[in-house]
Amino acid sequence: MASVQQVSLLFLPLLLISSFIVDRSYAAGIATYWGQHGEEGSLADACNTGNYQFINIAFLSTFGNGQTPQLNLGSHCDPGANTCTVFSSQIKDCQAKGIKVLLSLGGGSGTYSLNSADDAKQLADYLWSNFLGGSSGSRPLGDAVLDGIDFDIEGSGKSQYWENLAGNLKELNQQLVLSAAPQCVFPDENLRNAIDTGLFSYVWVQFYNNGQCQYNNGDASGLLNAWKQWTAVKAEQVFLGVPASEAAAPSGGFIPTNAMISQVLPAIKTSPNYGGVMIWDRSFDLNSGYSTAIKDSIN
């Protein structure tokens, strides 16, 4: 029979393995976008659900090519009248809960582009001074310091210099969180060069509004084939981006919660860099309860 000390030493590896398993079980999370719909409630409301680990404030939708950058938060506030600063305290409260809050650039509409490396540098400096760790007399969201920047670059002709912007931002602060929201068609022509830099912590891939790589009427094969491609990119974690309802994705890709839990999540959670699920968006999620239905199955 082994001594108490020997038993303890033999049991130690099991403890370490168990500890690793427990730690890994809490690694995955849910990201969402907030800011485009007035009926979605406040930022504080979203954070108080306890469902999200990441919230992207959407969007800074005008910038580049000599334009003055403009924040667009729909009917939530008017940046021109400086009323968006009301969310400063809410951002801090979200961060105090351990939620990372990022500013999302671009979106499906808007007038944005980067036309040169210098354009990218100017935008990085603007973001640093007005939303991140720098200082400015005209910070649209007040004195709250966001955790990072999300790249949601969509539409043709917008593929240039995003890698420069990512590099410029990291030069300002290596700890800055960068995320990207590419389309599921691999590779994403707008963001491929930026993602290839390896500077992005999180890549939440939009597996919707793209017929060839989305969930289609019970068939997850296209989605899973694309998922395997995306998990090979240089990123710490890759997220499955899904719509919270059929209304959230007019061109398809909605995955019913029962199929998500029984069919899709078990297939993708085996990926070493699986990070969780991104849900578009807070408004649709509020109405459908999607995040609440799947959150216990994320890990």
Q: How do 67-71 and 54-64 pair as beta strands?
A: antiparallel
**Domain range for 135:** 28-297
- What DSSP state is assigned to residue 218? T
pLDDT tops 50 at residue 157: yes
How far is it, in rounded angstroms, from Cα 194 to Cα 139? 26
Q: pLDDT tens digit string along 84-120?
A: 999 999 999 999 999 999 999 999 988 999 999 999 9
pLDDT range class, residue 2, cuts 50, 70, 90: very low
pTM: 0.91
User: Is 109 part of any domain?
Assistant: yes
The pLDDT score that the predictor gives to residue 158 is 67
Residue 14 located in a structural domain: no
Asked, for residue 10, whether it belongs to a domain, the answer is no
Residue-wise pLDDT for 161-189, tens only, equals 999 999 999 999 999 999 999 999 999 99
For residue 72, being part of any structural domain is answered with yes
**Pairing between β-strand 111-112 and β-strand 148-153 as defined by DSSP bridges:** unpaired
CA distances from 182 to 97, 110, 189, 203, 255 (A): 28, 17, 9, 7, 19
Task: Report the domain count for the chain.
Answer: 1
Residue 15 forms part of a structural domain: no
Domain with residue 35: its CATH number is: 3.20.20.80
Question: Domain for residue 16, yes or no?
Answer: no
The residue behind tokens 């993602």 is: 195
Tokens read off for 134: 């720098």
% of residues, the chain, pLDDT over 70: 90
User: Domain for residue 224, yes or no?
Assistant: yes
Catalytic residue among 39, 40, 154, 171: 154
155 or 245, which is more confident: 245
32-57 confidence digits (pLDDT tens): 999 999 999 999 999 999 999 999 99
Could you confirm whether 154 is annotated as catalytic? Answer: yes
Average pLDDT in the chain: 91
Mean pLDDT of 18-31: 57
Is 6 part of any domain? no
Q: What angle do CA 44, 47, 49 make, to 5 degrees?
A: 115
Spell out where 23-131 has E strands. Answer: 29-34, 54-64, 67-71, 100-107, 111-112
Q: What is the pLDDT of residue 21?
A: 36
